[in-house]
Amino acid sequence: MVTLMAVVLLHLTMVAAENENARVASCVVKGMVIDQLTGEALSGVVVAVDGSRSTYTDFDGKFQINGVTGGDHVITTNYISYQTKQQTVTLDPASENNLKIELTY
């Protein structure tokens, strides 16, 4: 009987935790990285959110990172021969979080 109660309690705790996580809406961060002087799209740029979740820009300079929580985050872009750029953005799950990032030498 004690074991059954422990299993039920564990299950209820897990369900409560899942419901709490479901309330924290996630965002999609997407955008484009270009050269500030020429306006050309830059492919292969590393784009990171808070130094952890990251991706590379595609051939057209576009990127997308899924599953980021709403709120303030630091976006870091890094590309060979260009200055590393960091910017703080506020992500809103109810809005489209589309960034245009311009890099300089």
Distance CA 61, CA 41 (A): 5
Q: Where are the beta strands (DSSP E) in the chain?
A: 26-35, 46-49, 53-56, 62-69, 71-78, 85-91, 97-103
| Total-model pTM | 0.76
Q: Is residue 13 part of a domain?
A: no
pLDDT in tens, 16-67: 545 444 456 899 999 999 999 999 999 999 999 999 999 999 999 999 999 9
Residue 86 is assigned to a structural domain of this protein: yes
18: in domain: no
Looking up residue 42, the CATH number of its domain turns out to be 2.60.40.1120
List pLDDT tens digits, range 58-102: 999 999 999 999 999 999 999 999 999 999 999 999 988 999 999
Domain count, the chain: 1
C-alpha distance across the termini of the chain, in Å = 69
Q: For the chain, what is the largest distance between any 2 Cα atoms, rounded to a whole number of angstroms?
A: 72
DSSP assigned state of 36: T
Task: Please check whether residue 47 lies inside any domain of the structure.
Answer: yes
Tell me whether residue 67 is in a domain.
Answer: yes
15 occurs within a structural domain: no
What pLDDT is stored for residue 19 in this prediction? 47
Question: Could you list the residue range(s) of the whole structural domain that residue 38 is in?
Answer: 26-103
Q: What integer pLDDT is reported at residue 8 of this predicted model?
A: 44
In angstroms, what is the C-alpha Rg of the chain? 20
**Higher per-residue pLDDT: 69 or 6:** 69
Q: Let me know if residue 12 belongs to a domain.
A: no
pLDDT of residue 4: 44
